Structure 1
Amino acid sequence: MTPESILNVGATLGEGPVWTGDRLWFVDIKEHRLYRHDPASGMLDMWHAPDQIGWALPTARGDMIVGVKTGLHRFSPETGDFALLHNPEPTRPGNRLNDAATDPSGRIWLGSMDDSETEASGALYRLDKGHCAHAGLPEVVITNGPAISTDGRTLWHTDTLAKTIWRVAVDEDGALGKPELFVTIEDGAGWPDGCVIDAEGCLWTGLFGGWAVRRYDPAGKLMATVSFPVANVTKIAFGGPDLRTAFATTARKGLSASELEAQPLAGNLFMFDAGVSGLPVHLANS
């Protein structure tokens, strides 16, 4: 599991990788860029979003729902148009949408965060058939990595600055149970960023400032660490024909001039053989 840099995008804050069909989508939050990459041909398409863009997820109607600082938008790859659907936080202009995942029922679970990374104003929301509602979990400074189990009955939610990942039961109607602590990242190992579940029910999380991606078993025991040549690893997505290739986004954000000189690959897109299959991405019902 040795990561290889495959796209020299130099993202300020690469994030949100998701595999759809035979292509990988990802974003550069701070540069307002949405990317689509075809690994087979090497093709890379790029669109400019209206503001900071945290993620893009495919829908059952063939377009994408994207999380932008100004709210949820519908994006058409054919036209390149972004159309505002809903702003879940109209009274919190200092927040932005940060990370998201779709469950087997087509619900999108999405989180917000304080863009200045100081106030505990970040919340988790549930978007279901066009209706967006607060998920009911305690608010934190930076929400991250909502990840969903194969059956959709468990959700993992990350409090990045507290270095904790929580596991929450999900009812059939989308109501959440009481959060249970899944894992705490020790001091010196970076901050937990985006996470995803593989076909064996294990959780993979990027470590911002931790030079690595980690894999934890369903009980929260550390199983593997994949070391990177860059400090800020944000999230992985499983892709390729057998969903065994891990694509990882990284970031240049927060690195000094000397650190950037020592990390020439920072912000690039990486890939490695995960040794296990991931889960297919579900289509959103909105």
Structure 2
Amino acid sequence: MTLPMSYPKWHRMTSQADGLGESPFWHPAEKCLYWVDIPGQRLRRMAMTADSMGEQRPEDWPLEEEPGCFAPATQGGWVMATRSGVYRARTWGGPRQLLAAAPYDTAQLRFNDGKCDPAGNFWSGSMFEPRDQALAVLYALQADGRLEIKAGDATVANGLAWSPDGRTLYWSDTGAHCIRAWDYDADTQTMSRERLFAQFPLKPNNWAYGTASAQTYLGRPDGAAVDVDGFYYSAMYEGHRLAKFAPDGRCVAFIETPVQCPTMPCFGGEDMCTLFITTSAHGRSAEELQALPDSGCVFATRVETPGVPVSFFNN
């Protein structure tokens, strides 16, 4: 896949690396960037001055288990999916109220990527940690506390996003190197007309950092974000890039990242034209970390097209 590569100026926003940063979102009223460090078992947030482009000091909320994702709530606080279930919290670092227990074997599965849809419903996908069976699914939290399965047949659920009009839902299976799309009705949480949005070549068996295979491998689709024109930005894990897709599924550009393993982009800042990415240092080789010592940090760059704001949990 030969496409133009853009080389933006990325600014490192954190000096302390995450093990595996994920699930970033921008809170417009608080002017804060939020994200999780999965193996670090903590939620993080960072207040930003007006479109500042330099290192800030994050505030941490330690947990007793791995968080997968979280989202802001309209009535204040957050909804979050951790290994053991979906929780509601009203204050930073405060008590968590269980909304739904995990409907899976927590010894082998955990919640991973998730967001709220445009109607304020909370969604989260799971991941099967042995990664040798397609047992991961996509759940939507119901008003009665049930976690309803909406899609499945995946190993690692990622890439959840909606088009600006809310009528298309995107979801990726990182292990299968594919992104799927559905028509979506937010009022009824109905998905229809499933289709393959993008398929990338699988990871070479001989892949290793610094080798020829690492130079040609495009990576596999991880977390994602959408801009107001409907372009879908996918973090290509181990691919050293973001992939930018047009609404019709054409991959129109690659955006180089300062690390091998970007995990998820999000838009933020006063004008929603700051593109943030979380990244991973977890499980990376000593050679890679020596060459790319900022792996695991949060980065930001400026873009011309603003992103779609985060959707808030409606409870």
Normalising by the residue count of structure 1, what TM-score does the alignment of the two structures yield? 0.94
Deviation at 1:29, TM superposition (A): 0.3
Please tell me whether the aligned partners of residues 12 and 253 of structure 1 are also in contact (alpha carbons under 8 angstroms): yes
1:186 aligned residue: 201
Aligned pairs for 1:162-201 (under 5 A) are 162-171=176-185, 172-187=187-202, 188-201=217-230
Partner of 1:263: 292
The answer to whether structure 1 residue 106 and structure 2 residue 107 are counterparts is: no
Quick one: distance in 2 between partners of 1:254 and 1:237? 24
Kindly state the Cα deviation for residue 163 of structure 1 after the two structures are TM-superposed. Answer: 0.6
- Is the CA contact 1:129–1:285 (under 8 Å) kept in the aligned structure 2? no
Answer whether contact 2:61 2:93 (CA < 8 A) is retained: no
Percent identity between the aligned chains?
A: 30
Q: Does 1:3 align with 2:18?
A: no
- Give SS of 2:33's match: strand
Note the C-alpha offset of 1:92.
4.9
- Report deviation, 1:79: 4.6
1-structure distance, mates of 2:291, 2:44: 26
**Residues 12-161 of structure 1: pairs in structure 2 closer than 5 A:** 12-21=19-28, 22-40=31-49, 42-129=56-143, 131-161=145-175
- How far off is 1:123 after superposition? 0.5
Structure 2 spans left out of the alignment, 5+ residues: 1-7, 203-216
> Secondary structure in 2 aligned to 1:259?
helix
- 1:132 Cα deviation from its structure 2 partner: 3.4
Deviation at 1:2, TM superposition (A): 2.2
- Work out whether residues 47 and 80 of structure 1, in 8 Å CA contact, stay in contact via their aligned partners in 2: no
- Counterpart for residue 276 of structure 2: 247
| Total equivalences in the alignment | 286
CA contact (8 A) 1:140 1:159 kept: yes
Is contact 1:135–1:176 with CA below 8 Å preserved after alignment? no
In structure 2, distance between residues paired with 1:269 and 1:146: 20
Q: Report deviation, 1:136.
A: 3.3
Compute the displacement of 1:220 (Å).
Answer: 1.3
Deviation at 1:137, TM superposition (A): 1.8
**Deviation larger for 173-182 or 131-140:** 131-140
Distance 1:233 1:250 in 2: 4
Secondary structure at the residue paired with 2:288? helix
Task: State how far apart, in whole Å, the 2-side matches of 1:128 and 1:274 are.
Answer: 36
Contact 2:36 2:43 in 1 (8 A): yes
The separation in 2 between residues aligned to 1:165 and 1:48, in whole angstroms, is 32
Measured in 2, the distance between the counterparts of 1:92 and 1:139 equals 18
Q: What are the equivalent positions in structure 2 for 1:208-247 lying under 5 Å apart? A: 208-247=237-276
Superposition deviation, residue 39 in structure 1:
2.2
Aligned residue for 1:261, secondary structure, equals helix
SS at match of 1:177: strand
Moved more, 77-86 or 102-111: 77-86
Letter of the 1:12 counterpart? G
CA contact (8 A) 2:141 2:148 kept: no
What SS does the corresponding residue of 2:191 show, helix, strand or coil?
Answer: coil
Letter in 2 for 1:175: T
Return the index of the structure with the highest Cα Rg: 2
The answer to whether the 8 A contact 1:100-1:111 is kept is yes
| Alpha-carbon offset, residue 77 of structure 1 | 3.1
8 Å Cα contact 2:275/2:300 also seen in 1: yes
Q: Give me the CA root mean square deviation.
A: 1.6
Shift of 1:271: 0.3
Provide the residue aligned with 1:275 in structure 2.
304
Evaluate the alpha carbon distance shift between residue 121 and residue 92 of structure 1 in structure 2; reply closer, same or farther with a 3 A threshold. farther
With the length of structure 2 as denominator, give the TM-score of the two structures: 0.86
Q: CA deviation at 1:140?
A: 1.1
CA distance in structure 1 between the partners assigned to 2:15 and 2:111 by the alignment: 25
Unaligned runs of 5+ in 1: none
Could you tell me whether the CA contact under 8 Å between 2:20 and 2:281 is conserved in 1? yes
The answer as to whether partners of 2:231 and 2:244 remain within 8 angstroms in 1 is yes
